[in-house]
Amino acid sequence: MNEIINCVAYADGRRVADVNLQDVHTALKDSRQFVWIGLHEPSEEILDKVKQEFNLHELAVEDAHNAHQRPKVEIYNDSIFVVLRTMMRNKENHTEFGETHFFVGDNFVVVVRHGPSVPYLEVRNRCESTPELLKKGQGFVLYAVMDFIVDHYFPVVHDMESELEVIEAKIFKEKPSRETTEEIYDLKRELLDVKRAVSPLIDVCNKLMRFEIQCITEETRPYFRDVYDHVMRINETVENTQELLNSAMEANFSLISINQSDVSKKFAGWAAIIAVPTMLAGFYGMNFKFMPELEWHYGYFALIFVTIAVCITLFYFFRKSGWL
Amino acid sequence: MNEIINCVAYADGRRVADVNLQDVHTALKDSRQFVWIGLHEPSEEILDKVKQEFNLHELAVEDAHNAHQRPKVEIYNDSIFVVLRTMMRNKENHTEFGETHFFVGDNFVVVVRHGPSVPYLEVRNRCESTPELLKKGQGFVLYAVMDFIVDHYFPVVHDMESELEVIEAKIFKEKPSRETTEEIYDLKRELLDVKRAVSPLIDVCNKLMRFEIQCITEETRPYFRDVYDHVMRINETVENTQELLNSAMEANFSLISINQSDVSKKFAGWAAIIAVPTMLAGFYGMNFKFMPELEWHYGYFALIFVTIAVCITLFYFFRKSGWL
Amino acid sequence: MNEIINCVAYADGRRVADVNLQDVHTALKDSRQFVWIGLHEPSEEILDKVKQEFNLHELAVEDAHNAHQRPKVEIYNDSIFVVLRTMMRNKENHTEFGETHFFVGDNFVVVVRHGPSVPYLEVRNRCESTPELLKKGQGFVLYAVMDFIVDHYFPVVHDMESELEVIEAKIFKEKPSRETTEEIYDLKRELLDVKRAVSPLIDVCNKLMRFEIQCITEETRPYFRDVYDHVMRINETVENTQELLNSAMEANFSLISINQSDVSKKFAGWAAIIAVPTMLAGFYGMNFKFMPELEWHYGYFALIFVTIAVCITLFYFFRKSGWL
Amino acid sequence: MNEIINCVAYADGRRVADVNLQDVHTALKDSRQFVWIGLHEPSEEILDKVKQEFNLHELAVEDAHNAHQRPKVEIYNDSIFVVLRTMMRNKENHTEFGETHFFVGDNFVVVVRHGPSVPYLEVRNRCESTPELLKKGQGFVLYAVMDFIVDHYFPVVHDMESELEVIEAKIFKEKPSRETTEEIYDLKRELLDVKRAVSPLIDVCNKLMRFEIQCITEETRPYFRDVYDHVMRINETVENTQELLNSAMEANFSLISINQSDVSKKFAGWAAIIAVPTMLAGFYGMNFKFMPELEWHYGYFALIFVTIAVCITLFYFFRKSGWL
Amino acid sequence: MNEIINCVAYADGRRVADVNLQDVHTALKDSRQFVWIGLHEPSEEILDKVKQEFNLHELAVEDAHNAHQRPKVEIYNDSIFVVLRTMMRNKENHTEFGETHFFVGDNFVVVVRHGPSVPYLEVRNRCESTPELLKKGQGFVLYAVMDFIVDHYFPVVHDMESELEVIEAKIFKEKPSRETTEEIYDLKRELLDVKRAVSPLIDVCNKLMRFEIQCITEETRPYFRDVYDHVMRINETVENTQELLNSAMEANFSLISINQSDVSKKFAGWAAIIAVPTMLAGFYGMNFKFMPELEWHYGYFALIFVTIAVCITLFYFFRKSGWL
């Protein structure tokens, strides 16, 4: 069955045996053992089996099937249900979100993976290679996978910081454009999505650190403080990026206005430079009987000379005062 | 009577009998039974009967009659009074709001429906088809109807998300227009209305989950956590949409300015292209005695050629620098 | 004396006797009685008498005389001091604010009215007509007057909502104007004033509902929940209106910009339509020796025809692209 | 010595004797007495003496010397240290800030004045004239001086409200100008400074009202509620003014845009009125052989007439549509 | 070894001996002694030794090695781990951030310095010169270094205030420019970085002041209140500067618009002054048979005179109404 990635019993930090989902209850008779099950988008039947095997609450199992949850931790009498969002950057440089759910009880941890995310085989291997940590039990497994998920937030957030820098460069170095405005908006939208995944985790970690939850031993609790710390830093970075993005939007807007002002000035300058010879030409196109300049032999050339002189003067004047 | 939709006694999760409102007290003598009454915009007399039958607080009954309440839960000694807003999209694609009030006591639940909303017959049928759940009592009925109401918020909120996407497309793909601005404003207004209906529910659910309320049994409480979760998600979506809408408004504004700048540039470009031949023509309209070009046989055609050349050059120049 | 509106002793919900302020202490010897005194902008002497009669705290009495207080409740050992703002719309459609202060003790309630407000005779009559409620004591009187005051907030707030709608209509249907901007600002200012009167009441009601205040009996407390509810709704409406007003201001601003853009387009369009014939006329005003068109018999009329044709073409072109 | 303004022992609300700073400990042997010392920008030596005399904490004394503190109250074992900012309007209509520090213990109160502020002799006189209040002890002195300081905030804040009104008048009645923008900014800056002085006082008063501070007797505590109230009102006014100022800035900005739009319209209107006769004149400056109008005897006058007629028509048209 | 700056044992406030890191445990056998170790970007081995010597928590040591932490305090059973950010202005007038970590236990304090910061030798010297303070133990050392670090924030923050003043001067005295907008943005970015370093310290100080932390003696606690106070003031200044910067950005934006308006007016004014003579010249360029002015001997000069008169009149008119 493809939905069940793994189902292994551990004792004293060491792998004991691969168990069949049906036989889990026999494995759990030995109170020193705990079972770590990895599922991937499981069908209702599989979840039903898990539910019966571990006596889970109907509503939590329903949530685990639907997979459109906010990050949260729900504390039932003898088990907890944890939801996290996973993040991955796809090839088109967009962030894709998945979900991972955990059921943790006294002697089991069930990890349910939905949507795009890196598989957790790596975490399992790492855990199995440090038996002195893994023997802390199912609470440590919860920590290890959560830490793994949260560590994958960092590259996503750093990518967004880089995008912000690209936008800043565009705003301050290039001309204002529709594209920049749209990019700002898109980044804002993505940041909101990331924030929605990250910020509820502060509360989740707090609960895991503080509450008297049976299935998490006391020596495991400081580890969740570590996750908490990472989440705080990511959250801070996201909020910082949001704030800078807002400022960038305003700066962009100021520069659009300055740019508009520059266009007006440039137009005004050139309009003046063209208007003066037009006016002069109009004057000597008048039909007055007696206009002495018209009779001069070099009148025409004198006018051309004067016109050019005036235009050049205006040009230098406007350039000096920053209009051209 | 049309105001009383239903008045049924249940025992052990199963329908026992349709009761007459006057005879409710006899039905309630059997302590294993509870009564579920559905009312629709009841008259004062009906409410008065209900009040006396179940010994409700005067102020709560007054509220239930007026039907302009905020979502809330009020805890009296032996009963609670809950107010929820209902939402429906009408044919003109606007959201219509109704109200539903609940009186829940030890052995009764009265559901009072005001304004536009889907009838709750469907909930009753669903409840009756799962007697193992319905036997949890009147608290479960409260949950079932609340869940039904809150589930009807989702399509409304998703509609608004779609409207936002339409607006985004208009902002970034089409020209800025008065209509878009007005649509943004209207969506904002609707979102505020929805938020007003949804956000107080967080507090309502919290109270129902945590407080030691007699008439809600402990095993029913996790179900309200489910409603809480839905409300949180809807609330989050609404806030997200609001924030994006604000950004959309600012982006719209930036694009209006860029557009204005483009108009100015286009105008300036064409003005220059027309001003140059006008100036040239003015020159050869002068009446100087001695203007050699005027005497040339092909002077006129030369001028036309020069003019066209200059205009084309300007056109290419402006096009290259993005002014045309 | 005009400052003392009323001074009546009640027992068991029924009016016992009009008392003289000096004789209040004799009336209060009967522990079942309480006294309800109504004052209107009392002089220092009157307040002094009241102070001595009921043993009130010096600072509270000073506050009651000055009448520039924030809404608040102050709890002294054996009495409480409550301040509320009253609101009235005057003939020029502006909101006028007054103040009403309450001293409530074990067997008295003193209501001090300052500034413009509806007199409370109506409340007294209404209370006297429901002795079964009035017999709940001085706490109920406090509720009755507070409820009366808060009920008078509704028309003021609804007026402001209407004003907002008028402003919306002006923004979206008419041209942007200085007047609209000023009206938005004025409404904002008024809303801030109203908010200052309303929002501290949430805290006031909370204290009256929850605190163990001797002089308010437990059965009176749910009534303050009713006032609390009204205050919450008014406060919500005010905040909603404020938020919409902010959005309206931004929408207004967008439309000013779009309007400005429209002016520019219109100007550009007409400028082009006039510039083309001017240029053409300039051409045929040139003095080249050899210009064949000038010799044509119908050259002039041809030119006029061409000019008109070009102008009409431009006109249709600009109209189609929305510039005219 | 100029730094020691006063050093007086009080017993039972009455001045007992002027004491020398060195002899304070003898005066304090009588447990019914307390000492009130007034200092003005004291040197380190004086502060050192005070420190030893009353056994003050090193850090508090350091703070009192440096005088760049936020308003705060620090509670030590047997004494408290309070910092307040003082405000004064100088002749150039700017607000100047000073600081006043208090050391209050079981039988002493030391008031240290820094920077510009009204001297506290007036408070001392007022206190001495009401021995029945002064006998409440050093806590009452603390109240009296704090009340005096906070009362001096009112004129400053009212001045700022008047400045806002002046700015409003400029915005809505006059043309937008650089000066108005700068004035808005300056007022904002001043408001921030005032807010920094006022808002921490809310917390200070709260602590003085609620905490079990030995050196403030219980009957003095309601007096700090009075100061708290004043601080709340000032703070509210400052926040109100800030919010209105923000709205004023936005309104100003809208009006700048409307004004810009008006300039464009005016320009467009006059440009059209001048462009039409220019075009007409251009037409009759053409050199076509056959142009019948040119031959007419009154052609020229007819043209002038037509031109004037067209211009007047345009003028009325533009005026009607609000462009001129 | 360069990574270990110092490793000294103290007893009763006085330097006892320089110890070798390996021999620390022997030095600590004397319970009156404590060890103060200063490290600079230590290698993993050194940190490992320290970890074993003092029995530190694995996660804290990992943090101390990575050095990308938020300011925080973590409380373990028998030691605390504190992280602070350090700030320095470099030669290009930018702020550089470093980190300093502290491990504090019952008889040791380890200070780990990362990135750019002033060395702490100065603090050590100062501490050693006041043995009566240093004998308060390792808690006082923590205070002394924290105080030293926080004192170095002040010049950074004051520099930023000066930068704001430079920006204000540019906004209100010079023409709006792209550079000013970019400088505002850059300052905003730097302020956010500083805020990120400072604001978490409020919480850190609070914990150090209030929590029952064994390794900080009660008489050391008021000293952290001093650090708290400094942090509050710096934080306040940063927030103030941020708020003023936002207002400056808006003011800048208003002035850009006013400037744009001025450009339009100037352009309109000069356009009018040039358009009038152009129109007049056009008139007398018409070829009507009968135009009396053309025949006048001084017609031409009269026209020149009229033209100049009109232009001067217009010039004065525009100047008076502020358009030129």
CB D243, CB C180: distance < 8 Å: no
Interface of B with A in 208-267 (CB under 8 A): 222-223, 225-226, 229, 232-233, 236, 240, 243-244, 247-248, 250-251, 253-255, 257-258, 260-261, 264-265, 267
Subunits with 3+ Cβ pairs within 8 Å of A are B, E
Reduced to 3 states, what is the DSSP secondary structure of residue B35?
Answer: strand
Sheet strands side by side (includes E108-114):
E14-18, E4-11, E33-40, E108-114, E95-105, E79-89, E72-75
Across the interface, of B222, B257, B278, the residue whose CB is closest to A278 is B278
Q: For residue B302, what are its two tokens?
A: 């030369």
Q: Which residues of D touch E271 (CB under 8 A)?
A: 267, 271
| ipTM entry | 0.85
Split at pLDDT 50, 70, 90, the class of E1 is: very low
- Alpha-carbon distance values, E132 to B144, D241, E109, E221, E224 (Å): 71, 51, 18, 16, 18
* pLDDT for res B1: 46
List the single range of A269-278, B46-55, D54-63, E207-216 with lowest mean pLDDT.
E207-216
* pLDDT for res C230: 93
| E291 lies within 8 A of chain D by CB | yes
* pLDDT for res E214: 80
CB D182, CB E258: distance < 8 Å: no
Place of tokens 């045996």: A17
pLDDT tens per residue, range E150-190: 999 999 999 999 999 999 999 999 888 888 999 999 999 99
Across the interface, of E222, E229, E279, the residue whose CB is closest to D278 is E279
Residue A1, pLDDT > 50, answer no
d(CA D103, CA D73): 10
Across the interface, of D185, D189, D253, the residue whose CB is closest to E257 is D253
Residue E240, pLDDT > 80, answer yes
| B196 lies within 8 A of chain C by CB | yes
DSSP-derived secondary structure for D81-139: EEEEEEEEE-TTS-EEEEEEEEEEESSEEEEEEESS---SHHHHHHHHT-HHHHTT-HH
| C303 lies within 8 A of chain D by CB | yes
Give E99→chain A minimum CA distance, Å: 15
Give D130→chain E minimum CA distance, Å: 37
CB A112, CB A39: distance < 8 Å: yes
Residues 6+ apart with CB under 8 A from E113: E5, E38, E39, E40, E41, E86, E98, E99, E100, E119, E120
| C296 lies within 8 A of chain D by CB | yes
Across the range C159-175, mean pLDDT stands at 93
Q: Which of C173, C250, C252 to mutate to test the interface with B (most CBs of B within 10 A)?
A: C250
Instruction: State whether D281 and E283 contact (CB < 8 Å).
Output: yes
Reduced to 3 states, what is the DSSP secondary structure of residue C83?
Answer: strand
State which amino acid sits at residue E104: V
Q: Which residues of A touch E182 (CB under 8 A)?
A: 172, 251
Q: For residue D120, what are its two tokens?
A: 């506290």
Residue in chain A lying closest to B265 (CA)? A263
pLDDT tens per residue, range C226-244: 899 999 999 999 999 999 9
* pLDDT for res D1: 46
Residue C1, pLDDT > 60, answer no
List the single range of B72-81, C74-83, C189-198, C209-218 with lowest mean pLDDT.
C209-218
Subunits with 3+ Cβ pairs within 8 Å of B are A, C
Subunits with 3+ Cβ pairs within 8 Å of C are B, D
Residues 6+ apart with CB under 8 A from D289: C294, C295, C296, C297, C299
Exposure class string for A169-186: b at 16+ Cβ within 10 A, else e? ebbbeeebebebbbbbbb
Kindly report the pTM of this predicted structure. 0.88
Q: Which residues of B touch C267 (CB under 8 A)?
A: 267
d(CA C44, CA C3): 11
Across the range D140-152, mean pLDDT stands at 94
Reduced to 3 states, what is the DSSP secondary structure of residue C155?
Answer: helix
Residue (of D86, D88, D40, D87) closest to D64 by Cα position: D40
d(CA D276, CA D38): 83
Helices (H), chain C: 24-27, 44-54, 58-66, 121-128, 131-134, 138-151, 153-173, 178-210, 221-283, 292-295, 299-320
In which element (H, E) is residue C80 found? strand C79-89
Across the range A135-162, mean pLDDT stands at 93
DSSP-derived secondary structure for D49-74: HHHHHHT--HHHHHHHHH----SEEE
Q: Which pairing describes strands A79-89 and B108-114: parallel, antiparallel, or unpaired? A: unpaired
Instruction: State whether E289 and D274 contact (CB < 8 Å).
Output: no
Across the interface, of E70, E297, E298, the residue whose CB is closest to A232 is E70
- Alpha-carbon distance values, C237 to C14, C160, C234, C250 (Å): 38, 10, 5, 20
Q: Which residues of C touch B74 (CB under 8 A)?
A: 222, 225
Q: Which of E65, E279, E294 to mutate to test the interface with A (most CBs of A within 10 A)?
A: E294
In chain C the first and final C-alpha atoms are separated, in Å, by: 73
Instruction: State whether C258 and B178 contact (CB < 8 Å).
Output: yes
State which amino acid sits at residue B175: K
CB D141, CB D109: distance < 8 Å: yes
Give A230→chain B minimum CA distance, Å: 23
* pLDDT for res A323: 84
If one counts every other C-beta atom within 10 angstroms of the C-beta of residue A315, the result is: 15
Instruction: State whether B240 and A192 contact (CB < 8 Å).
Output: yes
| C55 lies within 8 A of chain B by CB | no
Q: How distant is the alpha carbon of residue D202 from its chain centre?
A: 17
Q: Which residues of E touch A265 (CB under 8 A)?
A: 263
Residue in chain E lying closest to A247 (CA)? E185
Subunits with 3+ Cβ pairs within 8 Å of E are A, D
If you average pLDDT over every residue of chain A, what do you get? Answer: 90
* pLDDT for res A218: 83
CB D38, CB D124: distance < 8 Å: yes
Q: Which residues of E touch D266 (CB under 8 A)?
A: 268
d(CA D16, CA D14): 6
CB C268, CB C245: distance < 8 Å: no
pLDDT tens per residue, range C5-44: 889 999 988 999 898 888 888 888 888 889 999 999 998 8
Instruction: State whether E222 and D57 contact (CB < 8 Å).
Output: yes
Residue (of A146, A104, A94, A110) closest to A38 by Cα position: A110
If you average pLDDT over every residue of chain E, what do you get? Answer: 90
Q: Which of E266, E286, E293 to mutate to test the interface with D (most CBs of D within 10 A)?
A: E286
Residue in chain B lying closest to C262 (CA)? B260
Residue (of D53, D59, D68, D57) closest to D19 by Cα position: D53
Across the range A271-292, mean pLDDT stands at 89
Q: Which residues of D touch C261 (CB under 8 A)?
A: none
Residue (of B35, B13, B48, B39) closest to B106 by Cα position: B35
Interface of A with B in 111-170 (CB under 8 A): none
Across the interface, of C244, C279, C288, the residue whose CB is closest to B294 is C288
Q: Which residues of C touch B178 (CB under 8 A)?
A: 172, 255, 258
Residues in chain D: 324
d(CA B307, CA B304): 5
List the single range of D174-178, E142-146, E282-286 with lowest mean pLDDT.
D174-178
If you average pLDDT over every residue of chain C, what do you get? Answer: 90
State which amino acid sits at residue A155: P
Give A197→chain E minimum CA distance, Å: 20
Q: For residue C235, what are its two tokens?
A: 């406060």
